[in-house]
Amino acid sequence: MHTFYVTLKYTAVTLWSMFVIAPFLWALSTSFKDFNSVTSGATYIPWVDFEPTLEGWRVLLRSPAQGGVNIVEPYLNSIFVTCFASLISIALGTLAAYALSRFTFKAGFIRNDDITFFFISQRIMPPVVLAIPFFIMLGKLGLLDTLFGLVMVYVVLLMPIAVWIMVDFFNKVPIEIDETALIDGCNPYQAFYKVVLPNSIPGMVVAGLFCMIFGWTDFFFAFILTFTEVQLLPVAIVSLNSSITPWWSLSAAALVSVAPLIVVAFIVERYLSKGNLSGALK
């Protein structure tokens, strides 16, 4: 009976892994194909079914003048915008979340939970509702088509995620730890950054991961708020498309764009799997 369950478990895991890995493998093999290998029926094994070529990858590095689409600059832009916006969101979100978790706010009928919900509600609205106001505001500020403008918009979009995750995290951190720090001689600010903050790193890492995923994959705002000067990766990838869909270079670009998230996920995984999320205070 025991072996039966073990077999079942491993079969399920294997099937699921194949399901997850297959698209990546398919994209990887397609990125080394040329027009003929893609359009003349399915081909699978390099050197047997088709002759591999690096053309799909070369297109990504060539300048438009040479008939390519340079994704290096959009790539760096995306890294800059995502990292900066995530950092600001985590910093502000953590402070806001700590205040919402530890202090009581009252304004009319509004209480802490309502304020937390207000933050989250920014993500409930369909993005298109925000697009026009953002466009007009950035236009008035002269920040359309700039990296700084994008960072500002992304902070607005990412901070609710950070606040949401961190409020939940701080609520699980017993208030006694703050009180103990006060008794041990800290003032409230020291209690926060000497004691509570170091214990909150796992929560901040998780919030950061979510911010990076949402920031990195956003296409909608990157598309609407930029024109010619600044381009982010998702927009650059879409602009690869032409009358004849270049599956090889699209596949290469897709793999390149997923890579940073995979790296981040591997780094963060240890925080997720160690069960450190609860704050490890008890």
AA identity, residue 166: M
* Cβ pair 132, 183 in contact under 8 A: no
Q: How far is the CB of 184 from other proteins (least distance, A)?
A: 4
Q: Which is nearer to other proteins, 130 or 177 (CB)?
A: 177
108 lies in the binding site for other proteins (CB under 8 A) = no
CA-based torsion, 235, 238, 242, 246: positive or negative: positive
Query: What are the structure tokens assigned to 75, written together?
Result: 């790539």
Query: What are the structure tokens assigned to 74, written together?
Result: 């959009």
195 lies in the binding site for other proteins (CB under 8 A) = yes
What string marks each residue from 241 to 280 as x (binds other proteins by CB under 8 A) or -?
A: --------------------------------------xx
Query: Which three-class secondary structure state does DSSP give residue 211?
Result: helix
Q: Which is nearer to other proteins, 262 or 281 (CB)?
A: 281
105 lies in the binding site for other proteins (CB under 8 A) = no
AA identity, residue 1: M
* Cβ pair 86, 211 in contact under 8 A: yes
Q: Which is nearer to other proteins, 25 or 201 (CB)?
A: 201
Q: Which is nearer to other proteins, 114 or 184 (CB)?
A: 184
Buried b (16+ CB within 10 A) or exposed e, 242-265: eeeebbbbbbbbbbbbeebeeebe
Q: How far is the CB of 167 from other proteins (least distance, A)?
A: 20
Q: Which is nearer to other proteins, 51 or 184 (CB)?
A: 184
Contacts with other proteins by CB under 8 A lie at: 174, 176-177, 179-187, 190, 194-195, 198-199, 201, 279-282
